[in-house]
Chains A and B, each alone.
Chain A
Amino acid sequence: METYTLIVLLLAATIRVATPLLLAALAGMFSERAGVVDLGLEGKMLGAAFAAAAVSAVSGSAWLGLGAGILTAVALSLLLGFACVTHRGNQVVAAMAVNIMVSGLGPTLALAWFNLGGQTPQLDGPGQRFLGLVWPWAQTARETPFPGLLYSELLSGHSLVVYFAAALVPAAAWVLYRTRFGLRLRAVGENPLAVDTAGISVTALRYQAMMISGVLCGVAGTYLSVAASSGFVRDMTAGKGYLALAALIFGKWRPYPTLAACLLFAFTDALAVRLQGVALPLVGVIPVQFILALPYVLTVLLLAGFVGKAVAPRAIGVPYAKEK
């Protein structure tokens, strides 16, 4: 029984950790499928996390915070689009610039506005956070552990953002594979010249893709500061944007495999927390750092073609110059 409870709690933690990863990875899927390298996920999430926490702290509304988070991430997306699509700048350089700028800007503004050493105030007022939604009878179900615990811990009790992220996977798959927009998006990432020849604007499509990426990064960032924790702290994304990118590559730029990769990476994270200092049979204590490094190692192995093969969109990272 003890093991069962432990596993259920582990899986519940996995879901919570996977949510921002999944949102960011799906964000990256749209821009990368349109041919724009999205290393800026990290910066966009961090910017949104700060804006959401700041606005929620001042206004007392988590929803206004969400709006501010989305606006900030979209604005950063547009900045990246301006640099990379309009002025055909190097996408990697631009994204690194945004990531570095945001990592400094958040604490700077927080210090100036709230004077709390680069953090935003604790969000503890009513309605300032997206708290877990407790489903009907979740408390009662807990009393009969199997299958009640599955219901009360795994299905119930997560914040709205978690359910949104889960619903987003089939939605993204539908947009990408079943709509005209999705077809064009995929085409512009493979062969922009063909799209241009068909009379469709490459620039407009790439901007649209990046704005979708901005919206989803905005939700992901908001989740970090307003749902999963109560306020913004310095560098709170802690590489989650890059991890999401790794998950996207691991999922071969497809929605469902990306979901699986996010869950796998989140599981290793949740497991690392659980296994801290626990001696396992045969192997003894596994250092936490090794488990935490696992997603990165797996991604490197995948990219090297040792576990399956990840084929990137063909035109990724190449600015499109329309001939005059």
Chain B
Amino acid sequence: MSAPKQLPRWADLALLPLVGLAGALLLSGGIIKLLGESPVQALKLMVDGSLGSQEAIGYTLYYATNFMFTGLAVAVAFHAGLFNIGGEGQAYIGGLGAGLVCLWLGSWPFWAVLPVAILAAAGFGAAWAFLPAYLSAKRGSHIVITTIMFNFIAAALMTYLLVNVLIKPGQQSPETREFAANTWMPFAHELLAKVGVAFTATPLNLAFGLALLAAVGVWVFIWHTRWGYELRVVGQNQPAAVYAGISPPRITIVAMLLSGALAGGLGLNELMGSQHRILIDFPGGAGFVGIAVALMGRNHPVGIFLAAVLFGALYQGGSQLTFDMPRINRDMVVVIQGLVILSCGAMENMFRQPLAKLFGKAGGKNDRK
């Protein structure tokens, strides 16, 4: 008797990622043990450092904002059957767009700057995704390779711009001047103070709300619009899509533009919300965290929100860990991130088959009764 290959829907959506996460955390615990620290103590410190106070929660959600943007970006491309590894470069260039708007429109009021900055971040990010998308759709080049190449080209371009063009004169480090204060994203503690809620000052800002809006937007787009439907058809069955009169090249370009635009949103949080200037390598690997977030979140906005908060907590908790455990530094978080991608993404089948068998057995027993 062969076990059924299909898992119940809830198990596929919730149990499988959790089992994968548990596996990754167990392995990470093993590594921490190997380093001569207590894994239980480390977990306690991380949970406390990421969720234990207002300050901790603020930082966690601030990091989560970045990961929501990049996670949504990866997910939209995934739905169309595309693997966009270029989130890092698209976020970098998207941030350039937002940053330039802030530098140029310093005299405008914030409510006028915000829509222009959002459009610029999305537009620049989408533009950086356009060429790989076009080359994939029309000339058949492999999107994974081209987006990787575009990450490097983006890095070179940004270094050039920051070192030679945008640098604040008379300064050593390649950074622009600080944005005028009226172009800054309002901080969460400022907004909460207006409605009478006291909250510790953290970098958490309005961009968190924008990321939530983007998540809702993606949900509506993917599941409740004609284009979203076409996108999913192309992702799941290209011959069927062609038969139904949907053009896969057109969908490829639409999906990648949207993906790049979402990745560009990172600049709103990181630059307008916290750094208030354009600086070298500000995405800091968030484009790659987006892959982990999308995989864990099952490419669904709700899942992506939860996974982004989890990774935000890992980042914030991990930086707390370094204070109390001198033998561990922030790189440990990168290790955990890699392990999560491995167990939730690549090794999925390893967990899926035993689980399916388990459910198959349970189902069989019920049938006999």
Contacts and interface: CB of A to CB of B under 8 A. Distances in A.
Contacts of B341: 93, 96-97, 100-101
Contact of B347 (A87, A96, A108, A239): A87
Nearest to B144: A92
B159 interface: yes
A300 B146 contact: yes
A196 to B, nearest CB: 19
Tell me the dominant secondary structure on chain A's binding face.
Answer: helix
Contacts of B327: 111-112
A89 B347 contact: yes
B225 interface: no
Interface residues of A, number: 48
A216 to B, nearest CB: 20
Q: Which of A84, A101, A234 has the most B CB atoms < 10 Å from its CB?
A: A101
Interface string B202-235: 0000000000000000000000000000000000
A305 B345 contact: no
Given A287-B160, A293-B156, A98 B338 contact: yes
A97 B157 contact: no
Interface stretch (B188-196, B236-244, B255-263, B328-336): B328-336
Given A289-B160, A303-B146, A104 B333 contact: yes
B31 interface: yes
Interface stretch (B6-14, B108-116, B133-141, B271-279): B133-141
Contacts of A296: 149-150, 152-153, 156
Given A100-B338, A299-B149, A287 B331 contact: no
Contacts of A104: 331-338
A94 interface: yes
A108 B145 contact: no
B342 interface: yes
B51 interface: no
Contacts of B342: 83, 94, 97-98, 101
Interface string B333-358: 11111110110011111100000000
Most buried by B among A97, A99, A102, A303: A97
Interface of B: 31, 35-36, 83, 85, 131-132, 135, 139-142, 144-146, 148-150, 152-153, 156-157, 159-160, 163-164, 288, 291-292, 295, 327-329, 331-339, 341-342, 345-350
22 contacts: A39-B144, A83-B346, A83-B347, A94-B345, A96-B291, A97-B342, A100-B288, A103-B331, A105-B331, A107-B331, A108-B31, A108-B328, A111-B327, A118-B331, A289-B159, A292-B156, A293-B156, A300-B131, A300-B141, A300-B146, A300-B153, A303-B139
Top 6 nearest A-B pairs (CB, nearest first) are A101-B338, A104-B334, A94-B346, A303-B141, A89-B346, A293-B156
Interface of A: 37, 39, 83-84, 87-90, 92-94, 96-109, 111-112, 118, 234, 239, 242-243, 245-246, 249, 287, 289-290, 292-293, 296-297, 299-300, 303-305, 312
